Structure 1
Amino acid sequence: MSRATLSIACLLFGASSIAMAQAPTAADDGAAEEAIVVTGSRVVSDGTRAPTPLTVATTESLAANAPGGIAEGLNQLPVFQGAVNAQTAQLVSSNRVRSGNYLNLRNLGPQRVLVLQDGYRLPPSGNNGGVDTNVIPQMLIQRVETVTGGASAVYGSDAVSGVVNYITDTRFRGVKALAQAGLSTYGDGFSYRLGVAGGTALLDDRLRLQASIEYYATDGIPRRNARSGAGELWVTGARDPSLQSGAIGTINNPFLDYSGVTTNRTTRGGLITSGPAALRNLQFLPTGALVPMNGGTAIGRAGFGQGSDGPEECVDCTLVPESSTGQAFFRATYEAADELELFAQLSLNTDQNRGENFNLRTTNIPIYADNVYLQQQLTPAQLAALGTSSIQIARHFTEWDTRAKRLGAIPSEQKMKSAIARVGAAGGLGGDWKWDTAFTYGESRFSSVSQEIRRDKLFAAVDAVAGPNGAPVCRITQVDPSRFADCVPLNVLGMGRGDPAAMQWVLDDSWWRTKNQLTSGVLNVRGSLFSTWAGPVTVAFGGEIRKQKIVQDSNSDPDVPVDFQGIRGGNGALFSSTNVGVARGSYTVKEIYGEAVLPLIADAPFTRMLELNGAFRHADYSTSGGVDSFKIGGVWEPVSDIRLRAAVSRDIRAPSLFELFAGQTLLIQSVFDPVTNGTYDVRTRGGGNPVLKPEKADTLTLGVVLQPQALAGFYGSVDFYRIKIKDAIGTPGSSSQILLGCGSNPQSPLCSLITRDANNVPVEVSGVNNNVAVLSTKGVDFEFGYRADLGNGTLSARLLGTRLISYKRQDTAAADLIEYAGTSDLPGFLSSTYPLPKWRGNLSITYANDSFSIGVQERMIGSYVKSKIQYYVDNHIAPAFYTDINFSKNIGGMGDGLQMFATVNNLFNKKGQFFVTDQNPGSQLPTARALYDVMGRYITIGVRTRF
């Protein structure tokens, strides 16, 4: 592909701004050994002349170090932090999308990075408002351009942290195929990928056709105890458990990690949690006998004990879900006239995953005196003598095989299908004036199904009394035969004592489904207005009309009251784990924009080039009204070796449909409350908020690009960035963070988000979306590269890094502005936190010739402290280093050649740094999955060829 072709493609479809040398590969079809120039402007055709920084990666370079897919390669780059995918998800929950690959720039959220394919938007996936980049066909993707600064004025809403633009090779000819397989050093995580792509030109090269089909599947990691640490049952307690636990995590009693810890608030056979003092803390054995529970050795955190009789959370549940993706893509481009090109393309994508979540457990199960199973241990007369007619038990269901569809862990399956159709045209208006237009329709359908306890059935089945013939029957069938006539009595008093038919009867499928639709029309025009002494004044302008719609259905809406009529003791949501609400909503957006480049000086002393770049966009949302974004930047080249750039911008992100209209979600999580010094199962409520306002971001970037002529083959760039978001849309924090914030400051506005019962015990925490006051970050990105001939080949090196200077968040206007950089204080999902090390870096070195290539990559994740808000005995987390190697060998004789390749990720099988981020023993590995590798050493081998 020629340099001119690449410049035209970039001009039409956009990206951002750095020039970087790339080694030619077979996929480049013999590209000349010159710099590949890209741009993030709709006007600037030379990326080095644009004021906004950009990182570019070819698919070949990404695949060499991350053969699992393009997104995996991007997530290895330092600027991508906080990505959402199966390996990094701290909690495998059926209440949310739990696999796929949702890119995240600077940990500002997947919803604040705009994902494009050839410059056009893609429809959201699932219900989190982001785009699962796994649905983008990869066989024909040529490169990925990442704008690492605000770009809303050029591209529209969502481009707050930047833009990721997948560029399709629309001129590919021939056939290429790929087959590969991978396996971890532990013998699990097996994966394979198959793909084939073809392209041809007909009608004297006026008609170009491309098509691809590909499939990827992985077994994941089916059990958490397949990796060391999960079975060690780590929980964070107090250094001195004998002190008043209200002081836990303070300078006088810092946090200390304990192993071998389980909960002492429930048991596998049932623990009596309320009633007469003589009965409390008695547990039911598998024989049905009642014995005292051993609460274990105190660790200073209520609800847990070392060596207690209580269960672990779920060490045999899924660590990484089993998943698969499939893509089919077709494009036709027809040159109807000298300056008129028509195109049409269609992509069809599937994505599915399955795994097992938390063990089924429930608290406050009422057992009444007339319960036929209870009478085997406690008669009504005995209970009456103790002054009660009932007891309550907490039960952890772990003894049954979920794959046989019995009680135990929660088996879940999620599926997504998407279709994206696009038609368009491009042409000329005379001179250098060009135009392009496109119409896009995209639709994604996501579904999640889990099998779990249905609470109305559970309470009905547990309330078993003696029937007319003395045999156990469900009481509901005696008092209201119209309800649950098929109810099967269930004995929960002792592990393994329940009738399998009764266990099956209380299970049901909880499901929710989301459909996203995107319809858009775009028109772009660009060209030169006139020329000055310094060069042509070029402009671009255009508009877009876009409509997006979301429809979400659910059989587990927490806002729909559960009918417990006639069922004694019935309470709570319909299902024990999954409770997702319904949603309906849409909006229409009308946008116009303009961009201009004004050359000021050219070929003058100490100024080879000086020019200004400006852009403005007005968007009108049917839900929130009009909002403006702009960008002003400049590039100054004092000498040929150095180029300085700067830009300021106002960027916007309107609330997504999910954030506006998403139904309420309800998830039960065990969390610690410092106010009462207890650990409780607390409901965390999330969902949409229709009164959200757009968020606005002010972005500043300052940078320098180095291309010294005296050192041929070397290039470099250093860029400072600062992004400050006002009225940022998000949740006020995890349930744990909200409880801790209220505990440390009783006057905190976070306290209003907590619902407590008459005993001051927290029962629910609100995490509904709102406009938090401030979210800001600043830092420095740097990139250096070198390429030189060596022997009969080429040696190339590339260093990418980022230094996080600050990351601040203020959850409400009345709350404190907290600095999170270099700590793990940032709230994550539910009880987890997200570390933000200040340093991240990537160094890759490759040697390649016509016969083979070999490369090594070193990834560094910097050190940080666990907290600057609370105190730990060991507060420091050391830096982590991961080494990857790749090798390929060209074998002639088949078209352009057959290439065999191998990649070893995490060569030295480095474990994630020890850090107990989740306080449910056995629920996670003792490490921060959001940062560190959990797969271990992973070997991929494969072949690819091109004809």
Structure 2
Amino acid sequence: MSGTAIAAAAFVGVALPALAQSTPASNDVLEEVVVTGSRIPRAFSAPTPVNVVGAEEVKLSGNVNIEKMLAQLPQAVASQLGSATSNTVPGGFADVNLRGFGATRNLVLVNGRRFAIYGPEQVTDLNTIPSTLIARTEIVTGGSSAVYGSDAITGVVNFIMRDDFEGVEARAQINLDQPTTTPTYNVDITAGGNFANGRGNVVVAGNFLDRGAITRGDRGSFAYDSLSDGCVVKGSGSANGAGTPFTPPAGQGCVAGGGELGFIRGGSGDIPNGRFSGIPSFGGSNAALNAAYTAAGLGSLGSRGFTFNDGGTTARPAITPQDDFNLGPDNYLIQPQRRVMLNSFGHYDFTDKIRGFMELHYSNNVVDARLAPTNVGAPTLFNVNNPYLSPAMQEVFRQLDLAETGTTTVTSGTATRTTTRGDGLALVTAGRRYVEVGPRRATERRNTYRGAWGFDWDLGSASEDFLSDLNFNTYYTYARTENTLLLQNAISRSRLQASLLSNGSTAPVCNIFGANISAACRTAIAINATNSTVATQQTAQASVTGKLFPVPAGDVGFSTGVEWRDTSATFTPDSFLASGDVAGFNPGLPTRGSTSVKEVFGELNIPLLRDLPMVDALEANGAFRYSDYSLSGIGSVWTYSGGLDYRATSDIAFRGQYQRAIRAPNVNELFGGINRVVSVATDPCSSRAPAAQQTAAVRAICAATGVPTANIFTAAVQPNTIFGADFGGNPNLREERSDTYTFGTILTPEFVPGLNLSVDYFKIKLDGAISALGGGLQNTLNLCYNVIQDAGSEFCRAINRNPTTGEINDPYVAKILNANTGRLQTSGIDLAARYSFAADFGFPGLSDVSSFDISTSYTFLDDFTSTPVAAFPNIQNHCEGSFGPTCGQPLPVWRGSTRVSWNVDALQLSVRHRYVGKVTTDRYIVPKRQGSAATPALDSIAYPTLAAQNYFDVSFNYDFSDSLQVFGGVNNAFNNRPPITTQGPNSNTFSATYDVLGPEFFLGATVKF
């Protein structure tokens, strides 16, 4: 980053990394530069706050993958699914989540242009961004759709690449965590040179990354066990583990009964030796069954059923949590990754005024996920004379068969069977963890191709007073991502059921009673599956930038242009997986679709006043974009922005901006496969509805939506407690819309040379957030019949009924498709500062003088509110300062970092402090802020708060010569362990927010030839 750019960035109010350069004095002449958030070069300010992170910061942080660095910014919220700690299926990608609104609501650019997307969600995989090629990263947090188009709801991340390079540079780095010494290797080789007498330059860069795997078992201090909240014996628990379960005396709570709230070891009730349930408990009215239980040693059988010893010869009642299976050790804490990447940047000056440029990218990423072995817990048929059972257990199964009533249909994947009383088949829910098949594995193999080609043309000036310094830019980009997901060690439900029944006189293939799974059984039931995804994105743009005409305060800058984008994606699931026959991985349905948009955009920067008392400069800015979508739900839409930049003196400046931004729905939200879900619900038109809600108004809506008058509020409308609904994509979705307000001040006081401060207030309001209509089936029913009570509303139109009975049943089911149903809002203050100063002392043998660079960036979160259903505006989740199942990742009120670097000649020593503020569980915070009478007492929740976390990172950089540089350090130097909670998404913590590696050492070197 040049000194001029640094000075410009200071006026923009950015949090700069520690750099060796000093900040220019305020009276230096500033050249015009282009900063993300605007297309118009300017020397005074940018319309919105911009955070700039330089290549030096990336190196000193030791992060070889860029998503980790972005997640540590206070303007971002950690993205659990888009990080190395995800271990989800599908997964294997990395993303950024600005302001906590989700990765789909911010835009990733490379050199100001859209990069490749990896799937129907239309998100960029940051694993495809080469961190060592990044010259700087500019982050705008706030709606930028008028400048960049759809998706820039919460901002833009723009990676500026090194694209003009001569020579050969090799860089290698190794990272090792202290607890497991698992290595991550990263090697980059960059070569570039000029040609045609300096008129052209080509840069080619290759990258290889190999990240080792770390399982939860490897980090046993906090991640080994599957923990749950419970009552424990006083003093038996610890912050990093589980306590001894304690049962309070009858009628007393945990604390009153002599225990204390804490963590207990838990897990899954589907266990390796099998747990068999769904049958009557001992002591019922069936005397013959009770006698059989007693003879088999099951005289105390309860609702959890029974299990077997390893040999399968003896049964006993199952107990919890002692019998539960620990899901933790097999799961990855850090997913392994192997990446090969090639990038090339080139430009050529055809004339003094016309330059052509090209960007080429290829990357191959392989990321593995590993989960606990597959479990199957489903109603299962067994022969009552199963030869693997003891005679006593055979009698139990025979009595269970004789206790059946009517005919029962059993569905196992793609197979359907029936059983009746006395047919020799017993129906039992068999819950087993098939450890013999091995841990589930999912391998994502993702190939990404991208090309960008374009021209910059200096058009000159039409005249001195009109349309001067014109520059024409045009480009076309094409990107394609091909992803193959290989799923291993799953189980076929239909094959399993077939393998548990005798075939004539042949014994069942599988004996699941105890630890008796044979090789033949594994072969019979194990199944693999393969899914494929292809996503493409094309962009073509042409724009003209320059000066429109002069006014007394300066030149009016402008930019205008046109843009076309086309996005398509196809997801093809494995036929076994789509059928629902696979246990171990979620079923998937095909998705295919495309969207396109044609746009016209423009931007103005208007100097209003300059060089007056208390008005060093005053400028107005505005931008617009008109978009015409191929989507019927959107059609055409405007986005726009406007603001003022006011520099009172060289010491202080102010800025304010309003922006209207949009996000068009992505392919998955529009065209995602329809999935039939059967769930428990209450039909307001049936006799199951509460009597108080069976009003005349509800009766009228029931009749208007197709319920025969005679059947309203009768059992005929809902004979079952469950019924189906279709969930999935909706091609009629409209765009999400947001309004962003920012106000800030920038201080560069002359009396403290080298000091830059900025304070910015932000507020973002998003309407029409896309999710399942009404928030789900029951909410949609309630909205139609009890709240909106309009048969023409979208909620009532989603309900389909049998015209004869009024039932909601197949094929007349509710259509709970995606809809623009929710709202999000956030506000707060960003604070950033940088101070550089010289010192009259140094380091022996290096220099007698030195300098310091201090940079800090913090965010105060004043509000983070989600309204799940806009039709219920009073039901709001206020999440600032909280964490948990409702609010997700921790949202501390204060979060930020500070870096102090000491520069002595060729040596740089640096210390960084990262701070994550205290948060409280949303199980308490959300209902309390809603004023709910059901708010639990804070002391009734085990470990309700996560303490503030302080991390200290130490690093160095030393230039041995112009051609050799060595750098290294340790992150989390004091081994600050993550806070433990059962409300995190995995690993007993929020592994994307908190450091789970312990001290991580890194060492690298750069050699130039």
- Is TM-score (shorter-chain normalized) higher than 0.5? yes
CA deviation after TM superposition for structure 1 residue 354, in Å: 1.3
CA deviation after TM superposition for structure 1 residue 268, in Å: 2.0
Aligned equivalents of 1:588, 1:248: Cα separation in 2: 60
Secondary structure of the structure 1 residue equivalent to 2:511: coil
Aligned equivalents of 2:834, 2:608: Cα separation in 1: 30
| Conserved 8 A contact 1:115-1:122 | yes
What does residue 241 of structure 2 align with? Answer: none
Given candidates 691, 695, 701, the residue that maps to 2:736 is: 695
Q: CA 1:885–1:739 in 2, change beyond 3 Å: closer, same or farther?
A: farther
Say if 2:490 is the partner of 1:453. yes
Aligned equivalents of 1:905, 1:185: Cα separation in 2: 10
Secondary structure of the structure 2 residue equivalent to 1:175: strand
CA deviation after TM superposition for structure 1 residue 458, in Å: 3.3
Say if 2:478 is the partner of 1:493. no
| Conserved 8 A contact 1:271-1:395 | yes
What does residue 71 of structure 2 align with? Answer: 75
Q: CA 1:740–1:793 in 2, change beyond 3 Å: closer, same or farther?
A: farther
Which amino acid in 2 is paired with 1:436?
N
Paired residues for 1:538-937 under 5 Å? 538-556=557-575, 562=579, 573-623=581-631, 624-663=634-673, 687-730=728-771, 769-790=818-839, 791=841, 792-815=849-872, 816-825=875-884, 827=886, 833-867=888-922, 868=925, 869=927, 870-871=935-936, 872-873=938-939, 874-892=943-961, 896-917=962-983, 924-937=986-999
CA deviation after TM superposition for structure 1 residue 343, in Å: 1.3
Percentage of identical aligned residues: 25
Aligned equivalents of 2:147, 2:669: Cα separation in 1: 24
Aligned equivalents of 1:262, 1:578: Cα separation in 2: 20
| Conserved 8 A contact 2:18-2:57 | no
Q: CA 1:630–1:472 in 2, change beyond 3 Å: closer, same or farther?
A: same
Aligned equivalents of 1:509, 1:741: Cα separation in 2: 37
What does residue 63 of structure 1 align with? Answer: 59
Q: CA 1:620–1:204 in 2, change beyond 3 Å: closer, same or farther?
A: same
Aligned equivalents of 2:135, 2:164: Cα separation in 1: 10
CA deviation after TM superposition for structure 1 residue 7, in Å: 11
Aligned equivalents of 2:986, 2:175: Cα separation in 1: 24
| Conserved 8 A contact 1:714-1:785 | yes
CA deviation after TM superposition for structure 1 residue 915, in Å: 1.6
CA deviation after TM superposition for structure 1 residue 166, in Å: 0.6
What does residue 301 of structure 1 align with? Answer: none
Secondary structure of the structure 2 residue equivalent to 1:465: coil
Which amino acid in 1 is paired with 2:507?
P
Q: CA 1:845–1:733 in 2, change beyond 3 Å: closer, same or farther?
A: farther
Given candidates 223, 226, 232, the residue that maps to 1:230 is: 223
| Conserved 8 A contact 1:16-1:40 | no
Secondary structure of the structure 1 residue equivalent to 2:326: coil
1:15-68 CA distances to partner (integer Å, 9 max, x unpaired)? 994467676669x9xxxx999965235454236422210000111212211332
Aligned pair count reads 852
Say if 2:259 is the partner of 1:259. no
What does residue 530 of structure 1 align with? Answer: 549
| Conserved 8 A contact 1:179-1:195 | yes
Aligned equivalents of 2:724, 2:586: Cα separation in 1: 11
Aligned equivalents of 1:34, 1:249: Cα separation in 2: 71
Secondary structure of the structure 2 residue equivalent to 1:712: coil
1:453-498 CA distances to partner (integer Å, 9 max, x unpaired)? 333443344333154xx4425xxxxxxxxxxxxxxx1111112x12
Q: CA 1:683–1:199 in 2, change beyond 3 Å: closer, same or farther?
A: farther
Aligned equivalents of 1:202, 1:134: Cα separation in 2: 31
CA deviation after TM superposition for structure 1 residue 137, in Å: 2.7
Q: CA 1:21–1:137 in 2, change beyond 3 Å: closer, same or farther?
A: closer
What does residue 358 of structure 2 align with? Answer: 344
What does residue 48 of structure 2 align with? Answer: 52
What does residue 408 of structure 2 align with? Answer: none
Q: CA 1:34–1:413 in 2, change beyond 3 Å: closer, same or farther?
A: farther
| Conserved 8 A contact 1:339-1:428 | yes
| Conserved 8 A contact 1:445-1:514 | yes
What does residue 173 of structure 2 align with? Answer: 180
Aligned equivalents of 1:552, 1:248: Cα separation in 2: 51
1:162-188 CA distances to partner (integer Å, 9 max, x unpaired)? 000011222222221111111111124
Q: CA 1:914–1:317 in 2, change beyond 3 Å: closer, same or farther?
A: closer
Aligned equivalents of 1:575, 1:77: Cα separation in 2: 39
| Conserved 8 A contact 1:726-1:773 | yes
For structure 1, which segment, 233-242 or 707-716, has the greater mean C-alpha deviation from structure 2 after superposition?
Answer: 233-242
Structure 2: runs of 5 or more not aligned: 233-245, 283-292, 294-300, 404-424, 462-468, 680-687, 689-722, 789-794, 800-806, 808-812, 842-848, 928-934
What does residue 382 of structure 2 align with? Answer: 368
Aligned equivalents of 2:489, 2:678: Cα separation in 1: 14
| Conserved 8 A contact 1:43-1:538 | no
Q: What is the TM-score when the length of structure 1 is the normalising length? A: 0.83
What does residue 407 of structure 2 align with? Answer: none
Q: CA RMSD in A?
A: 3.9
What does residue 438 of structure 1 align with? Answer: 475
Q: CA 1:276–1:864 in 2, change beyond 3 Å: closer, same or farther?
A: closer
Aligned equivalents of 1:338, 1:381: Cα separation in 2: 94
Given candidates 208, 211, 214, the residue that maps to 1:215 is: 208
| Conserved 8 A contact 1:224-1:316 | yes
Structure 1: runs of 5 or more not aligned: 296-304, 401-406, 474-488, 563-571, 670-674, 676-681, 759-763
CA deviation after TM superposition for structure 1 residue 152, in Å: 0.6
What does residue 270 of structure 1 align with? Answer: 274
Aligned equivalents of 2:893, 2:881: Cα separation in 1: 5
Aligned equivalents of 2:967, 2:458: Cα separation in 1: 44
Secondary structure of the structure 2 residue equivalent to 1:659: helix
Which amino acid in 1 is paired with 2:1006?
R
| Conserved 8 A contact 2:121-2:668 | yes
Q: CA 1:823–1:67 in 2, change beyond 3 Å: closer, same or farther?
A: closer
CA deviation after TM superposition for structure 1 residue 223, in Å: 3.8
1:327-357 CA distances to partner (integer Å, 9 max, x unpaired)? 1011221100111001122110111111311
| Conserved 8 A contact 2:121-2:667 | no
Aligned equivalents of 2:83, 2:550: Cα separation in 1: 53
Q: CA 1:668–1:177 in 2, change beyond 3 Å: closer, same or farther?
A: farther
Say if 2:448 is the partner of 1:418. yes
| Conserved 8 A contact 1:580-1:664 | no
Secondary structure of the structure 2 residue equivalent to 1:139: helix
Q: CA 1:343–1:89 in 2, change beyond 3 Å: closer, same or farther?
A: same
- For the pair shown, the structure with the greater C-alpha radius of gyration is 2
Q: CA 1:855–1:398 in 2, change beyond 3 Å: closer, same or farther?
A: farther
| Conserved 8 A contact 1:367-1:462 | no
| Conserved 8 A contact 1:224-1:925 | no
Say if 2:499 is the partner of 1:462. yes
Q: CA 1:253–1:169 in 2, change beyond 3 Å: closer, same or farther?
A: farther
Aligned equivalents of 1:766, 1:273: Cα separation in 2: 34
CA deviation after TM superposition for structure 1 residue 574, in Å: 3.4
Given candidates 144, 151, 157, the residue that maps to 1:151 is: 144
Secondary structure of the structure 1 residue equivalent to 2:350: strand
Q: CA 1:258–1:683 in 2, change beyond 3 Å: closer, same or farther?
A: farther
Aligned equivalents of 1:119, 1:363: Cα separation in 2: 51
Aligned equivalents of 1:538, 1:666: Cα separation in 2: 55
CA deviation after TM superposition for structure 1 residue 206, in Å: 0.3
